[in-house]
Structure 1
Amino acid sequence: MIPKDNEPARLRETSALALEWERLRETIAGRTQSPLGRARVLAMEPGRDLRTIEQQQQLAQEMGRYLAVGGDFGFGGLFDANSLLDKARITGASLEPLEIRRIAELAEHISDWKQLITEPPEGLADQWPAVTALSAPVAATNFYRLLQLVSGKIEADGSLSDEASPELARIRRAAERQHKAIEDSLRRQLRAVADAGGAQDELITVRGERFVIPVKTEFRKRVPGVVHGSSSSGQTVFVEPMETIEQNNELVRLLDEEQAEIHRILVAMTEAIGEQAGSIARGTEVLAQIETHLAVAKFARDLRCVRPTFTDGKPHRDEDGKELPALSLEAARHPLLEQRMLAERREAARTRREREEATSGIVPLTIALPGTAKQLIISGPNTGGKTVALKTVGLLALMAQAGLPVPAAAARLPIFSAVYADIGDAQSIERNLSTFSAHITNVNRIAREADNRALVLLDELGAATDPEEGAALAVAISERFLQMGAWSLITTHLTSLKIYAAKHTGVVNAAVGFDEKTLAPTYELRLGVPGASSGINIAERLGLDPAMIRAARGSVTTQSADIARFLDELHQQLTTVAAEREQIRLREQEVERERRRLEIEGRQEQRNRARELEVKLASLMKDFEFQMRDSLKAVEDKGTQQKLKGEADRRIARLKREFQESFNQTVVAHVTGADKQDKNAQPHVVNEISVGDMVMLRSMGREARVDRQVNSGTFEVSIGPMKMRVPKDDIAQVTKAAPKQNPIQAARGRGINVVARESDLVPGEINVIGRTADEARDEVERFVDQAFLAGRPSIRVVHGTGMGVLRRTLRDYLRKHPHVVSVTEPPYNEGGQGATLVELRS
C-alpha cells in the first residue's frame, strides 16, 4: 500500500470523505487479525507512481493465488515489539517472562512464514515472485538458538518451567524435598500437641514465608520455638518449632537460589533476543505487510475483484483491431453498496443454503469513453443511479491507485493526478453559504487546481438556482474542464447540458434507466444517448392530482415537451432493441449448444465404431494365431515343428501389419472423406516416383512420404508414424513440398479420435516382474509385436533377478523370435541381470 509519509507519490486530492474512502479501509481492516496489520490497512493511500502501484497490485494478486489453493496464515501474535527489542539490546537487562514469551512467539511466526516461502504450497512454487521478494528479509533469519533457549520454558502464567535449566530443576527438586521434610516434622509435632489438646486446628500454615503450626495460647510454652504471630481473637499463636527452624532456613536459602537462577535465565534469554533484535524487527515489518496484502486478497475474493489495467490516457487497439478505451469499467459495482446489500440478503435468508447462495442483487455499471472522449454527461430521472455511478468510478479509481483490485469484470484506468468530487448537499451554515454557493465555491477551487490528468466528479451541476442561469453556468463549467483536458463525469437534469454533449467532440451522453411501470430505477447506464427526467410522468404514476398534472404539462413549452417526448420514445426503442438483442443472443446460444451436441454425438459414434472394428480385428487375429499354433502342435517332427513355427511367426507378424495398414487406411479415408469421392482424394496421375518423394494417395486424399519401393508396382509409404504398402495406381501426384500434417493428427485436431493402430504410443519398456513364466511370455510376445509394428529399433524387458527362471525363459524365447536381432544384458546401472535389452529388426 502507498504509505502516508510518501508525499511525492500521493494524489494531490482524493475527496476521501465524499467517496467514502475511510469506510472502505475500515471494511478491509476488518479482515486483519493483528493491530499492526489493521494499522497498515487504515494507512493505505492512493498513489501516482505506476511502478509502486503495479507492485502492490501484483502482491494482492499473488496472495489471492495463495488463498485459492487453500492457504491461510495466523497473524494473531503479531505486535509492535520495538520497545521491548530496544530494552533487550541493553547489556544485563532482563525482560519479564511473558514479554520474552511474546517475542518468542513472534519469532516462531516469522520462522513459520520463512518455511512457507522456502517450501510453498503445491502449485505456488513459481507463482508468487513478488511475495518472495518482499519476504527476502525473513528468508535470511535464523531463530533456532533463540527458540531453543525460550520455547516451552515459560508457562502461561509467566513462571519458568523446570526445563528452563538443569540447575533450576535441581534447586526445585531440593526445595521440594526440603518442603516435604518440614511438613513431615511439623505434622508430627502438631499431632503431639493435638493429642494433648493444645492445637486449635490440625493445620500447617505459613507466616512470614515460614512454616508454622497453630497452638492454643495456654500451650505456648509446651512447644519450644519462635512465635510468628497470633490469631485475631488471641486464642491461637503460630509457632515455628525449634526442630524446623534450620529446615526452614535451608528452604529459604534454596528459594533465594531459585530466584537467582531465574534471573540468570531471563538475562540469558533477553541477551539472545537482543542479538536477534534487528532480524525480529525486520521480520515483524514483513509479516505486517503480508497480513495487509492477505486482507486485501480476502476482500478481493469476497467481492470478486479483478486487477485493473493502467493506461497512458490514450485509446489503443488489441491484436484483432478492437479499440480499447483509455477509461472503461465493465460490470463494476460499488464495493460498500454491494457488501451492504449482500449482508442484508444473507440476514433475510431462512436457510443456510440460501445464505451461502445469496447475491447482492446489485446492477453492475459499465462505462467506456470511446476514442479521445474524456467527458461524460449522465442524465436521467432521480433515483436512477447517477450519483452511485459517480461514486463508483471515483472510489474504484482510488482503490486501483492504492494497489487494490477493483470489483468489476474488467477495468482500464489512467493514472490520475488527483480525484475531485463535488457530490451531495454541500450547504454550510457555519460559513453562511447556501447549497448553490457552496457548490460554486468548490467547483471554482477544482477548476483552479485540476490539470489534464485529474478526475473530476460533479453531481447535479447547475442545480439549486434559476434553471436558465444554472444551465448557462453548467455548460460554461463543462466547457472549461473539456478545454483543460481533465477526465470529468457530470450528472444533470438540464437539457442544455444534454445538447452540449451532443454537439461537442470529446463529450459523451449517457442515461440511467427508470422503469415507469414499476416506478423503480433499473440502474442501467446507456452510453451515447441522453436521459429523460420524466418528472411529470413519475408524479402522475405516484398519484398526484390530475388537475396539477394537466397544469404542469400545460406550462411546459412546446420545445421542452418535444424534447421530452423524443427522449421517452428513444428510450422505449432502446429498451425494445435491447430485448430483441437478448432474445437473439439466447437463440444463438441455443443453436450453438445444439450444434455442439450433434458434433459430440457424431464423434462419439465414430469413436465407438472404430473401437468395435479394432476389437473385431484383434479377435480375428488372435483366433488365427491360436489356430496356427494348434496346427503346429499337431506336427510330430520337432525339427519340422520348429522350422514351421518360425515361418508361422513371420507370417503372423506380416499378416498383422497388413491387416493393421488396411484398417488404418479404411478408417482415415472415412474420416477425411476420401471414401466419399472427395475431389481432393482424386488428384491426377504421375509416373515417376522416387524414395523421399511426397505423394498424394487416392484412397486417403492425403500426402505420404515414399520410404522404399517394394517392387515395380508397390511402394512402402509413411504418414507420420504409420507405415503402409500401397499399389502404384493409388499414387496420384508427386511433389517435393514439405510433408503436410499427419492425417490422423489432423483428424484428432478436429476432435475425431482415430485409432491408427494399437501401438501408436508403444512405450520402450515392459515390466513383467511378479508374472509366471507363461504369463510373462504372453505379455512380452504381444509387446514385441506391437513395438515391431510401431517401428521401434529396440525395447527393454524388466523381469527382475529372483531365481533367474523368468530371465532364462524370456531370453531363450526372445533369441528365437523372428523380429529380434539380438538379446543383451544391460549395464549394472540400467538394470543388469534384472532386465534384458532387445534389438528389433527394421
Structure 2
Amino acid sequence: MTIADQGTLKRLEWDKITERLARHCASEPGRELVQALVPVADTDEVVRLQAETEEAARVLRLEPAAEFNVWPDIREPLKRAERGLVLEAESVLDVGRTLRAIRLVRNFFSARVEKYPLLAGWARVMSPSPELEKRILEAIMPGGELADAASAQLGDIRRRLLRARQQVKETLDRMVRSHTTQKYLQDNIITIREGRYVVPVKIEYRGEVPGLVHDQSASGATLFVEPMAVVEKNNEIRRLEAAEKQEVYRILADFSALIGAVAPETLGSVDILAHIDFTMAKGRFSLQLKAVPPVIEPGVHLRFRLARHPLIPGDAVPITCRVGEDFDILVLTGPNTGGKTVALKTVGLTVLMVQAGLQVPMEDCAIGLFTRVFADIGDEQSIEDSLSTFSSHMRNIVHIVRDVTADSLVLIDELGTGTDPTEGAALAQSILEELLARGAKAVATTHFSELKHFATNNERVENGSVEFDNVTLEPLYKIVIGRPGRSNAFEIASRLGLPGTIVGRAREYLTVDQHRAEDLLKNLELTQQQGEGDREAARALRREAEVLKDKYDAELAKFLEKKQAIREKAVEQAHEQVRRIRQEGEAIIRELREQIKQDSNRTREQGIHEARDRINQLTGGIPERPAPVGGGTPPTALKPGETVFIPRFNQDGQVVSTKGDEAVVQAGSIRLNLPFAELRLRTAARTPEPMRGTTGQMALQKVMDFKSELDMRGMRAEEALNEMDKYLDDAVLSGVERVHLIHGKGTGVLRAAVTEHLRGDSRVKSFRLGEAGEGGIGVTVVEF
C-alpha cells in the first residue's frame, strides 16, 4: 500500500519525478512500471528496491559498454499469436528483437552473478528462444520486408519476377525510344497502372498504339495503354506477385505458430525484462542527479545533509534538515522569498523517493521509514466548490488530523493563514499540539510569532529558520535548526521601493515589547551567523590540520624506514670492511711467519700478537647485525600500555588502543596504525654488549649525522680540498647518491680547484654546477 494519497503526491510534484524517470526507460513496459511507481512502507520491500537501484547504478558506472538497448513492446502480438492469429512482418520482427534483448540481458547478468546478484536473480528466470530469434532476424529485414532467403520457394519466385519485369521494361523501352511510336506518346516514360506496366498515349492517337486502356489522366488528354506486346508478360508478373504474397503469408503463419508456442514463457520474460529496464532507469536517474543511496534505520525519523531539490537545476542551494530524533516537530520561519516551501517539498520528496526505491540527490541521508505522508502545500482555492484559501487548507488539515498516526510525516505550508491572524495563530498552535499528542513527525512553515514561542517552550518542538543576509537583505536559502526566523517585512518592503515614511510609520505601530523581541531576534540571528562562520572556518582549519598530520605521519614513517635502511647498509659496509681487513691482516701474518723463521720463537710470536692487536684496533667497535628484540611470532592480542617492537622501524612502541587485528602504537613522537602482523612482543630487556672500541661507533655516528652539503666558503684552496676529501669519504660510507659542495662565486679560484680535483676522483660518477634553484655557479653538485 502506498504511503501517500493522490493529493499529497500531486502537491509534492511526484508526477514530475516519475515523468523524468520514465525518460530513462528503454521500453514501453518499463515506462508503465515507472508510471505505476508509488512509495511503500514495507521495510523489506524498500531495502530490496534500494539494493536493486544501487546495483543498476553500479552496472552503469563499471560496465559502460553493457547493451541495454531500446526494445519494442510485444505483449499484444504475443497474445494474438497465442490465439492462433497470423502476425504482420513488423510484429514478427519486433518479437525477434525483443527475444534478442532477453538473451543479451540474461547472458550479461549470468556472467556477473557475484557482482550483481539481485539483477542476475531476475535475469536467470527469463526464457530466451535463441533459435527462433535467429530465424526471425535472418528472415525479416530491418524495414519489415522478408528477405529472399526466408525460404527457397520465395527466393525462386522473386528471381522469376525480376526477370519478367526486366523483359517488360526492355520491350516498352524499345517502344518509347522508337521514332515511329514516340510521336503518339505524351511522354517517353514507362509507368504502372493497376499493377501493370503501361505507356502514356495522346488521346488523339488512341488507335495508333494497339493495347488495353487502364486509366486516363485528369485532363483527359492522356490514356495509359498496356501495349499488346507485353500483355502476356504482365499477366505472368501478376501471377508471380500473387505467388509471392501467398508464400510470404505462409512464412509469417509459420513464424506466428512458433511464436504462439513460446508466448506464455516469453510474456513472463517480457515482464522481467521490463522490471530490469525499470531498475536500470532508476540507476540512470541516480547518476543524472548525482544521488546517493540512503541508510535505512530503525524508528521513524529523517536526517539528511546538503540535499538538492531533484526538480530544480544544479545551482540550487542545498539544505540540511532533520526531524523525528531529538524533536518531533520543526517550525520553520523566515521571509516569503527565503525558500521555505522549497525546503518543505525537498523534505517530502526525499521521503517519497527513498520509500519508492530511488536514490536521493544529497551528501548523505538516513531515514526510519514512515507509514503515511501528508502534505498541505500551495494555494488550492476552489471557485467551483466555493472554497476560500483558508477553507481549502482546513479541509486538508481535517483529513490529516483524522488519519495521522505516530508513524506519519506531516508537511504544512503557512499553517493558519487565510483568516484572522489571532485566530489563525491559535488554531495553528492547537493543530501542532494535536500532532504532537499523536506522536506524528511534522515540518510546518509559518509567520506567526506565537508558534515560535510554542516551539521554544516545548522540548519536542524545535524552531528553524531560512537564513537571510541582514546586510544585503538577500535570502540565503539555508535551513538553520534551533533559531527562529524573522519575516524581515520592513527590510524587504524598503528594498522593493516602498517609501521610507511609510515603513517608518509602520515601525512606530509596533509595541515596545515587539520592538525588543524583534531586535533581540535580529541580534541573535546575526550572532549565530557569525558563530556559524567561525565554526566553518574552524572546521576547515581542522580538516587542513588532519591532512597535514596524515602527510607528516606518512613522511615520518618513510624517514624512519629510510633511516633504518641507511643504518643497515652502513653496518653491512662496515662488516665488509672488517672482513677485508682481516683477510689482509692474515696475509700479513703469514708473510711475517715466513720472514722471521730464523728468529726465535718468542720474537716471532710477539710480532704476530702485535699484528693481530693492530687488526683488532682497526675493526673494533663495529656493531653486530641487530638481532630481533621480540619473538618471531606476531601477537594475537594486545592491551593498551603493552610495549611492542616494530621490526620495520627497529624501534619500540607502546600500544595506545586496538581494533580488530590492528593497533594504534605510540612510537616516539608519532602514532602509527599497524596490523598485529607487523609487531612483535617485547621480551625481557637485553643488556647490550659493550663496544669493543670506539672506531665503529664513530663511523656509525658519522652516518647518522651526515649532511648532504659542505660549505667551503672562506677556506684556502688546500684547506678546502682536504675537508672535501674527508667529506667525500663520509658521503660514500653514508650511502648517499648526491652531495652539494658550496664554494661560492667569488673569483672562481676555489671553484676551479674543486673541479680539477673531482676530475681525478674515482669515487665520483659525475659533477656539474648547480641550477637556479640549487645555488647556481656557487655550488657544485656531485653524484657518486
TM-score by length of 1: 0.64
Say yes or no: does 1:103 pair with 2:91: no
Match of 2:133 in 1: 147
C-alpha displacement of 1:253: 4.4
Match of 2:104 in 1: 112
C-alpha displacement of 1:255: 3.8
Summarize the Cα distance change of 1:730–1:525 in structure 2 as closer, same or farther, 3 Å threshold: same
C-alpha displacement of 1:110: 1.5
The amino acid across from 1:603 in the alignment is: A
CA displacement 1:13-69 (0-9 Å, x = unmatched): 661222111122222223334333333222211222222222221111111111111
* 1:474-489 equivalence runs, <5 A: 474-489=428-443
Match of 1:741 in 2: none
**Which deviates more from structure 2 when the two are superposed, residues 75-84 or residues 405-414?**
75-84
What root-mean-square deviation, in Å, do the aligned CA atoms of Structure 1 and Structure 2 show?
A: 4.3
Summarize the Cα distance change of 1:83–1:597 in structure 2 as closer, same or farther, 3 Å threshold: closer
Match of 2:124 in 1: 136
Summarize the Cα distance change of 1:198–1:288 in structure 2 as closer, same or farther, 3 Å threshold: same
Q: Is the 8 A contact 1:13 1:418 kept in 2?
A: no
Counterpart CA distance in 1 for 2:191 and 2:505 is: 100
**Which deviates more from structure 2 when the two are superposed, residues 618-627 or residues 33-42?**
618-627
Counterpart CA distance in 2 for 1:518 and 1:594 is: 37
Match of 2:317 in 1: 362
CA displacement 1:561-616 (0-9 Å, x = unmatched): 22222222222221222122122222223333333333333333344445556677
Match of 2:250 in 1: 264
Summarize the Cα distance change of 1:551–1:664 in structure 2 as closer, same or farther, 3 Å threshold: same
Match of 2:53 in 1: 60
* 1:821-832 equivalence runs, <5 A: none
CA displacement 1:279-333 (0-9 Å, x = unmatched): 332222222222222222222222222222334435xxxxxxxxxxx33222222
* 1:187-586 equivalence runs, <5 A: 190=175, 227=212, 238-241=226-229, 251-313=237-299, 326-337=301-312, 339=313, 342=314, 360-371=315-326, 373-540=327-494, 544-586=498-540
Counterpart CA distance in 1 for 2:452 and 2:134 is: 74
C-alpha displacement of 1:435: 2.5
Q: Is the 8 A contact 1:228 1:240 kept in 2?
A: no
CA displacement 1:119-158 (0-9 Å, x = unmatched): 24xxxx42322212222332xx232221222113223443
Q: Is the 8 A contact 1:512 1:524 kept in 2?
A: yes
C-alpha displacement of 1:520: 0.8
CA displacement 1:244-277 (0-9 Å, x = unmatched): 7666655554444333322221111111211221
Alignment match of 1:40 (pick from 11, 27, 33): 33
Q: Is the 8 A contact 1:214 1:238 kept in 2?
A: no
* 3-state secondary structure, aligned to 1:526: strand
CA displacement 1:652-706 (0-9 Å, x = unmatched): xxxxxx99954988997793446xxx999xxxxxxxxxxxxxxxxxxxxxxxxxx
Contiguous gaps of at least 5 residues in structure 1: 1-7, 315-325, 343-359, 630-657, 681-718, 732-842
Counterpart CA distance in 2 for 1:388 and 1:118 is: 44
The amino acid across from 2:325 in the alignment is: P
Q: Is the 8 A contact 1:36 1:78 kept in 2?
A: no
C-alpha displacement of 1:414: 3.1
The amino acid across from 2:155 in the alignment is: A
The amino acid across from 2:51 in the alignment is: Q
* 3-state secondary structure, aligned to 1:432: coil
Q: Is the 8 A contact 1:101 1:154 kept in 2?
A: yes
Match of 2:77 in 1: 84
Counterpart CA distance in 2 for 1:189 and 1:412 is: 85
C-alpha displacement of 1:203: 6.9
Counterpart CA distance in 2 for 1:151 and 1:38 is: 26
Counterpart CA distance in 2 for 1:454 and 1:265 is: 61
Q: Is the 8 A contact 1:329 1:368 kept in 2?
A: no
Match of 1:71 in 2: 64
Q: Is the 8 A contact 1:31 1:295 kept in 2?
A: yes
Counterpart CA distance in 1 for 2:47 and 2:377 is: 29
CA displacement 1:84-140 (0-9 Å, x = unmatched): 11221244x4222122112211211111111211224xxxx42322212222332xx
Aligned residues: 611
* 3-state secondary structure, aligned to 2:480: strand
Percentage of matched positions with identical amino acids? 30
Say yes or no: does 1:172 pair with 2:158: yes
C-alpha displacement of 1:471: 2.2
Q: Is the 8 A contact 2:81 2:257 kept in 1?
A: yes
Say yes or no: does 1:163 pair with 2:149: yes
Summarize the Cα distance change of 1:192–1:594 in structure 2 as closer, same or farther, 3 Å threshold: closer
Counterpart CA distance in 2 for 1:679 and 1:450 is: 58
Match of 2:671 in 1: none
Q: Is the 8 A contact 2:373 2:410 kept in 1?
A: yes
Counterpart CA distance in 1 for 2:107 and 2:18 is: 30
Counterpart CA distance in 1 for 2:409 and 2:176 is: 92
Summarize the Cα distance change of 1:580–1:81 in structure 2 as closer, same or farther, 3 Å threshold: same
* 3-state secondary structure, aligned to 1:329: strand
* 3-state secondary structure, aligned to 1:15: helix
CA displacement 1:704-753 (0-9 Å, x = unmatched): xxxxxxxxxxxxxxx9999xxx998559xxxxxxxxxxxxxxxxxxxxxx
The amino acid across from 1:525 in the alignment is: I
Counterpart CA distance in 2 for 1:106 and 1:393 is: 40
Q: Is the 8 A contact 2:302 2:366 kept in 1?
A: yes
* 1:682-761 equivalence runs, <5 A: none
The amino acid across from 1:101 in the alignment is: L
CA displacement 1:395-427 (0-9 Å, x = unmatched): 211112222112222222333232222223333
**Which deviates more from structure 2 when the two are superposed, residues 574-583 or residues 57-66?**
574-583
Summarize the Cα distance change of 1:165–1:614 in structure 2 as closer, same or farther, 3 Å threshold: farther
Contiguous gaps of at least 5 residues in structure 2: 584-621, 631-644, 656-676, 690-784
C-alpha displacement of 1:619: 8.3
Counterpart CA distance in 2 for 1:670 and 1:234 is: 105
Summarize the Cα distance change of 1:162–1:619 in structure 2 as closer, same or farther, 3 Å threshold: farther
Summarize the Cα distance change of 1:168–1:662 in structure 2 as closer, same or farther, 3 Å threshold: same
Q: Is the 8 A contact 2:153 2:247 kept in 1?
A: yes
Counterpart CA distance in 2 for 1:494 and 1:727 is: 75
Match of 1:809 in 2: none
C-alpha displacement of 1:519: 0.8
* 3-state secondary structure, aligned to 2:541: helix
* 3-state secondary structure, aligned to 2:354: helix
* 3-state secondary structure, aligned to 1:158: coil
C-alpha displacement of 1:215: 9.4
Summarize the Cα distance change of 1:547–1:720 in structure 2 as closer, same or farther, 3 Å threshold: closer
* 3-state secondary structure, aligned to 1:32: coil
TM-score by length of 2: 0.68
C-alpha displacement of 1:205: 6.4
